[in-house]
Amino acid sequence: MLKLRNRQKAMPKMLFGMVAGLGFLILVGLGSVGGFLLFDRVNPPPLDKLTDLSVEVVDRDGALLRAYTNKAGQWRLGSDLDGVDAEFIDILLTYEDKRFWDHAGVDLRAILRASWQLLSNGRIISGASTISMQLARLLEPREKRSFKAKFWQMLRALQLEERMSKREILTAYLTLAPYGGNLEGIRAASLAYFAKEPKELSLAQAALLVALPQSPEARRPDISPKRALAARNTVLERMAIAGLIPESEVTRASAQPLESVRHTMPQLAAHVADRLYSKSSLQRKHQTTLDRELQEKMEQVLLDATGKLAPDLSAALILADGKSGAILAEVGSADYLSAARSGWIDMTRKQRSPGSALKPFIYGLAFEEGLIRAQTQITDSPVDFGGYRPKNFDMGYQGDVSIHDALLLSLNVPAVALLDAVGPARLMERLKRGDVSVKLPEGSDVGLAIGLGGLGITLKDLTQLYTSFVNDGRIKRLHDQPLSPSAREIVRAPVLDRNASWHVGNILKDATPPRGTGTLPIAYKTGTSYGYRDAWSVGFEGRYVIGVWVGKPDNSAVPGITGRTAAAPILYDAFARSGLTLTPFPKAPSGTQEQAFVDLPPTLKHFRISNLWSTPSLVPEAAPQISYPPDGARIELTPTAQGKQMPLVVKLQNGRPPFRWLGNGRVFAANGRKRRINWMPDGQGQSTLTVIDAAGRADSVSVFLQVPSETP
């Protein structure tokens, strides 16, 4: 009874407000134009909200990668009518403002209709606010709803119509409309509630987003799903009654379950986005060269990979179009939010030791100088280069090997010998041509150590150097934002001549895939820094180049980590999951000679120490030594899950390959060069393991083999 009395008391006031509003409009229309123009000049509508938008970082095609809230902490993404589903626009205008395209900001017919309904029913049946009036309220909110506030909205609506086109008004409304929480605008709502842009809305989704702005907090689907569902279906029913949507489609849409989860905004390319945002937070949109789909795939590749690594290890990856230099995917860490992995640090931009990853450019210079061919023999043995004595990763030496194999095996002595021949300063000059920045250790000069990782370089710059292998020796400058036309026209001096570049690439494509990966038509090189701090792998095919780094952001050691075991599998996985159409390697340039050893001229059959600029002294080669298992050890033979015996891993140091291995006097491996092999013992008990190198030197260990006892 009390509610009825209140309604009866309020009805004359509401009716008076409607009629007064109509009278106001008639006055404006009949003779107050001068006063309106004066008011408009003195009190222009506040439009600052339309410029206080979320900053967006987008991919090469405009797809959203990452966004930032505006100054007020709102998700307010700029909208564009062309980016909104046309059916949504039709539903919105049918539901909110049927004559939007015809009125001048205030709909007289709607005011008369609402007044008559109020008079006839004693309560408000429908409103008379136009889209323009609602925009006025959003631009200039007032604490209480009153007739004074309604008059003000009408006045502001007329002002807006004078200043803006209909499309601009509708766009502004779609940018500011409230959708619950800190969501403003159709794009923010569509992304938060449906994880899609408003161009892709279904009928049911469009209906919900039309209903939400009327009561955004009460109808939030993630908080009040029942109210949201009822409001959505009311909109759908109205569309059927209006004849806008066929009843059959409305029935299907009404039967669809409500999506009641609020999604996080896109969070791709975090490090790239942060870098651009910090550079210019006032710029509303930052376009990149990234490809959203590739970026998403590469982030997942790293996340999957580091899930198998230690919890404090990070990883970084760059995928670039080597023909243009455009970076298509850039991942600065495996998990941006991981404190254990220091995920906020962008490891694509940190200078670290590349290990052996620069060796291809040393070999390229030697090819360029005519010092070697792929089948030229070079001796891998201990050498003293004026006090610098490089050792191989496995502490052993291979003896005479081809240039082809020396590069694939990443042997250190041949690489240093070639660097000594062409000159470290020459390599540094070519790195400079590659438009990269390298850092030498404090107090050190340019010396032979740079060939084995004795300098710092970023993953971005290292990947940039490798673009030379798909461009006849010329690098393409890597960039994650579109280049200006003048920048695209810059032609840089080659890092290597085209023949040398092809020779090196032709060798690297023969690199053995990492264990556990499939075969792919790619060439690649790995690197492991001194002290097991950094693992690298950079690979390419005819067009695309991918660089991978794995390690700890604090530069501490990771015992046992190598480029081959940690970075190369990620490289292969990245190529395999990219979905890119891999292009063939380039054909040999005209005049490039690839000769068998027997066809080489005498001067190119062997690259000898005496050919070097300096004449290093040979260091006596150590005899072979079995480093595992140690002599006298008791070793349990581990069975597999199926109960079968697993082989015993045997490790060797020093000696000259090839090697012959004997177990209890019987040969189980011969003419091998590997220093880590598998031995399948013939039973339990005392066993003798022997190795003999190419020089006839031998080493033996005696071990006791046993099967582990079963636990009770």
> What's the pLDDT at 17?
52
% residues pLDDT > 70 (the chain): 88
Active site annotation includes 237 = no
| Residue with the larger pLDDT of the pair 297 and 668 | 297
Of 436, 427, 426, 444, nearest in space to 466 by CA: 436
Q: Which helix (H) or strand (E) holds 167?
A: helix 166-176
Q: Position of tokens 């990782």?
A: 453
Assigned token pair, 115 = 């007044």
Active-site option among 356, 402, 468, 501: 356
> What's the pLDDT at 22?
52
> What's the pLDDT at 357?
98
- Tell me the mean pLDDT in the region 163-184: 97
Domains of the chain: 2-255 (1.10.3810.10), 355-611 (3.40.710.10), 625-706 (2.60.40.10)
- Tell me the mean pLDDT in the region 101-124: 70
| Residue with the larger pLDDT of the pair 218 and 634 | 218
Distance CA 455, CA 449 (A): 8
| Residue with the larger pLDDT of the pair 641 and 465 | 465
**Residue 171 CB contacts under 8 Å (≥ 6 apart), including other chains:** 79, 80, 81
- DSSP reduced 3-state for 633: coil
Range name among 189-198, 248-257, 656-665 with the lowest pLDDT average = 656-665
- Which pLDDT band holds residue 73 (cuts at 50, 70, 90)? very high
pLDDT of residue 473 exceeding 90: yes
Range name among 316-320, 328-332, 707-711 with the lowest pLDDT average = 707-711
Burial 166-176 (b: 16+ CB within 10 A, else e): eeebbbbbbbb
- Which pLDDT band holds residue 143 (cuts at 50, 70, 90)? low
β-sheet bridge partners, residue 317: 331, 548
> What's the pLDDT at 619?
55
Distance CA 538, CA 563 (A): 10
Range name among 32-36, 121-125, 150-154, 705-709 with the lowest pLDDT average = 121-125
% residues pLDDT > 90 (the chain): 63
- Tell me the mean pLDDT in the region 69-96: 95
- Tell me the mean pLDDT in the region 227-252: 97
pLDDT of residue 350 exceeding 90: yes
- Tell me the mean pLDDT in the region 293-318: 94
> What's the pLDDT at 129?
85
Active-site option among 54, 56, 96, 501: 96
- Tell me the mean pLDDT in the region 103-116: 75
Residue-wise pLDDT tens digits, 597-639: 888 888 889 997 543 434 444 556 678 888 888 888 888 876 6
pLDDT of residue 28 exceeding 70: no
> What's the pLDDT at 23?
52
Assigned token pair, 691 = 């190795």
- Tell me the mean pLDDT in the region 113-134: 67
- Which pLDDT band holds residue 592 (cuts at 50, 70, 90)? confident
> What's the pLDDT at 497?
94
> What's the pLDDT at 11?
47
- Which pLDDT band holds residue 148 (cuts at 50, 70, 90)? confident
Active site annotation includes 468 = no
Residue-wise pLDDT tens digits, 650-683: 888 888 888 899 998 888 888 787 788 888 888 8
- Which pLDDT band holds residue 3 (cuts at 50, 70, 90)? very low
- DSSP reduced 3-state for 197: coil
For the chain, the average pLDDT equals: 88
For residue 354, whether the previous peptide bond is cis, meaning omega lies within 30 degrees of 0, is no
